[in-house]
Chain A
Amino acid sequence: MNFTIEVNNQKIEAVKGETLLDTLTANGIKVPTLCHMKGMIPTGACRICVVEQKLTGKLITACSYPVEEGMQILTNSPKVTESRKTIVELLLSNHPDDCLYCSRNKNCELQDLAETYHVRERRIRGKKNTHHLDLSSASIVRDPAKCILCARCVRVCDEIMNVNAIDILYRGSKSEIGTTFNKGLNTSSCVNCGQCIMVCPTGALTEKDHFPEILEALAHTNKTVVVQYAPSITVSIAEELGLKAGEDLNGIMNAALRKIGFDYVFDTSFTADLTIMEESAELIHRIVNGGTLPMITSCCPGWVKYAEEFAPEFIPNLSSCKSPQQMMGALVKSHFAEISNLKPEDIYSVSIMPCTAKKFEGQRKEMTQKGISDIDAVLTTREFVKLIQLFGIDMNNIEPQLADSPLGIRSSAGKLFANSGGVMEAAIRTAYFKLNGKEMVNFKIPPLRGTKGCKTAKIQITEKLEIGVAVVSGLSNAEELLKEIKNGRKDIHFIEVMACPGGCISGGGQPINSNEEALKERIKSIYKIDEKEPIKVSHKNPEIIDIYKDFLGEPLSHKSHDLLHTSYAKRDDVIL
């Protein structure tokens, strides 16, 4: 039902059942919010969204107030502005005020509000927060002193991720966000997904930065510094560099990485292709030999840790394949080292990932050879953009280049890993070919595309074999599906899980404050690459064919097992 309400003395259209905030936003009237999260039940905790009821002069929170017929609202009255300003001043009263040194400088909602409400002096003086920095996690840095207690992180971690690593602890002025027993994040169930960073309005949550190490390695002349970049990176940096969101900058990026000083530039999409070769072989093997099904993908380290903590009964279902990052890491310090006459210890291996959990994965003890870590440092997309800026590279004025070979050519199937559903599509293409000796007629599987949290399809793999597949992103959605399977659901044989909603294109290492449009552009860009490129299947990637011929033998070979596969173990969700 539609009706009208009056806002700032003008009539606007409202829909019954929506909140006042929804109505105002739909009509282009801006109201600031902090604790509000789109699509989640409002808590009304921060009160920055107050508006005034014209008749009574009462202030109400727009985010939680249901719109009512005939309402008369003022969104910018002196009373509203004054009270919003006071809220901002209160938030600032115990804030550390070290904006110049903060990673969120110029990209902070608190700064923006202070600017909008014209806070020009410190009227309210509180005791500065003295909470300690939590550096314990391999991926996430928490600085509770900068926290404004909006609880967005808590809600993402609970409602989207089902991890519940953090909550609001203590009470009143002593409140802070923390883990069980208020210990380091590394003792908690945190799966390092970084989604809390993505929603934090301030610098209270950031990635564990690997910037200094990398600068050091680049400056060090006696190490060979190699870099790999994940499939999603090439379509995720454009808007940060003032270009059109979603634009594929692959070639330009290759050139930029060389200018920055990386000795070799490899494409993680190549090892995504390799993952597909191994994983589809594993799937067929399980189906043919009555192995554990459904098989579940293991390329997302956030999901893997979640499974180890919360779903250990599904560990046998996890594919034993390492993730593309780790396959590349392992190959660089073995095969590549060998053919380039380099010692593994003289190689510094960097990866650029849309993901904070990759930092954790890179330092897992399983990911080493003879005590040498396969991956030495992981940069998020955000850190990568900073690197480009630091080195003063003008992305508008640079000739595209190819990645290095071998380990640099990919099919468009490998590129699909960026999107939720991409691993599944790529794997089906290769499994189909292996079982039928010919390619699928139509590669595209529409029900597996898009950002829905759970997508399923039936795939006729051979004349006699139909399999059910599911694609889930957002760990709450994974949890739901696992529950159904525990309760006897039998029609699913292969599951792709990505911890981040929508997959890597919205990973926890991606640019902050990207709007939905930008995300859509990234997804589109990936599918466009798949449409226009000639090699659409991993098994036709010439370098994949070569690496099996020259080095690995065949999928699931002894060498593959040594280098490209791993194992998992149950772990406690709280470490005492």
Chain B
Amino acid sequence: MQIEEILIAHKDSEKDSLIPILQEIQESEGFLSKEAVIRVGKHLDIPTSRIFGVATFYNQFRFEPTGKYHIQICRGTACHVLGSSTVLDVIEKQLKIKAGKTTRDGLFSIEVVACIGACGLAPVICINGEFHAKVTPEKIKQIVETLKNQNS
């Protein structure tokens, strides 16, 4: 669905529909573009600064299109206990971007997610829907390198 269609479906929505609307847009576009934020602001008569404030409060929203490879890193409890923060650190350093961002060449993006229900395989990452179990810093470096090489 296009942004316009989503907004039409929310023709009479009040300000409290902000989050559902943002979710629907992200669902359909993959991220919240600047244009989208401005459009939603006009639609609900909410200042864009407030929308951006609300949206950045939640980890689920991103403001850049996802990369060709979208890496989701689980930060749920089980994964955390088994070192997911190091995993995140390694990936961020390797790709030189922070979670929520996309590399300049558009190849990779990182997203932090809550428990994805594969705790037995912790720590888990998921690239374009494909799970990688019990990842270690070395393993990750390898995975990322392989993907990079495939595209150079």
Which parts of B41-84 form the interface with A (CB within 8 Å)? 47-53, 56-58, 63
B52 touches A180 (CB 8 A): yes
> Min CB distance, A433 to chain B, in Å?
44
> Min CB distance, A311 to chain B, in Å?
14
Residue with the greatest number of chain B CB neighbours at <10 A, chosen from A179, A181, A573: A181
Q: Do A181 and B34 form a contact, CB below 8 Å, given A166-B49, A574-B48?
A: yes
Is A476 at the interface (CB under 8 A from chain B)?
Answer: no
Q: Do A165 and B56 form a contact, CB below 8 Å, given A180-B37, A181-B34, A181-B63?
A: no
Q: Interface SS of chain B: helix, strand, loop or mixed?
A: helix
A168 touches B63 (CB 8 A): no
B49 touches A188 (CB 8 A): yes
CA distance A133 to B48 in the complex (A): 22
Residue with the greatest number of chain B CB neighbours at <10 A, chosen from A167, A171, A179, A576: A167
Of all chain A residues, the one with the shortest Cβ separation from B35 is A576
B47 touches A164 (CB 8 A): yes
Is A3 at the interface (CB under 8 A from chain B)?
Answer: no
Is B90 at the interface (CB under 8 A from chain A)?
Answer: no
Of all chain A residues, the one with the shortest Cβ separation from B48 is A180
Q: Mark A552-576, 1 if CB is under 8 A from B, else 0.
A: 0000000000000000000001101
Contacts of B51 in A (CB 8 A): 180
A168 touches B53 (CB 8 A): yes
Is A170 at the interface (CB under 8 A from chain B)?
Answer: yes
Is A169 at the interface (CB under 8 A from chain B)?
Answer: yes
Of all chain B residues, the one with the shortest Cβ separation from A182 is B52
Is B115 at the interface (CB under 8 A from chain A)?
Answer: no
Interface size class of B (residues with CB under 8 A): 10 to 19
Q: Do A169 and B53 form a contact, CB below 8 Å, given A164-B47, A181-B63, A574-B48?
A: yes
Which parts of A161-198 form the interface with B (CB within 8 Å)? 164-171, 178-182, 188-189
Contacts of A573 in B (CB 8 A): 48
Q: Say which residue of B34, B47, B53 sits within 8 Å of A576 (CB atoms).
A: B34
Q: Do A180 and B57 form a contact, CB below 8 Å, given A574-B38, A576-B34?
A: no
CA distance A410 to B50 in the complex (A): 45
Q: Say which residue of A170, A179, A576 sits within 8 Å of B49 (CB atoms).
A: A179
Contacts of A170 in B (CB 8 A): 56-57
Contacts of A576 in B (CB 8 A): 34-35, 38
Interface size class of A (residues with CB under 8 A): 10 to 19
CA distance A576 to B36 in the complex (A): 12
Contacts of A574 in B (CB 8 A): 34, 38, 48
Contacts of B35 in A (CB 8 A): 576
A164 touches B50 (CB 8 A): yes
Contacts of A178 in B (CB 8 A): 49, 52
B50 touches A181 (CB 8 A): no
B57 touches A171 (CB 8 A): yes
> Min CB distance, A550 to chain B, in Å?
50
CA distance A180 to B56 in the complex (A): 10
Q: Do A169 and B56 form a contact, CB below 8 Å, given A179-B49, A180-B49, A180-B51?
A: yes
> Min CB distance, A96 to chain B, in Å?
22
CA distance A182 to B51 in the complex (A): 12
Contacts of A182 in B (CB 8 A): 52, 56
Of all chain B residues, the one with the shortest Cβ separation from A176 is B56
Q: Say which residue of B34, B48, B56 sits within 8 Å of A171 (CB atoms).
A: B56
A-B contact pairs, 6 of them (CB 8 A): A167-B53, A180-B37, A180-B51, A181-B34, A574-B38, A576-B35
Known: A167-B50, A181-B37. 5 other contacts (CB 8 A): A166-B49, A180-B47, A181-B34, A573-B48, A574-B38
Interface residues of B (CB under 8 A from A): 34-35, 37-38, 47-53, 56-58, 63
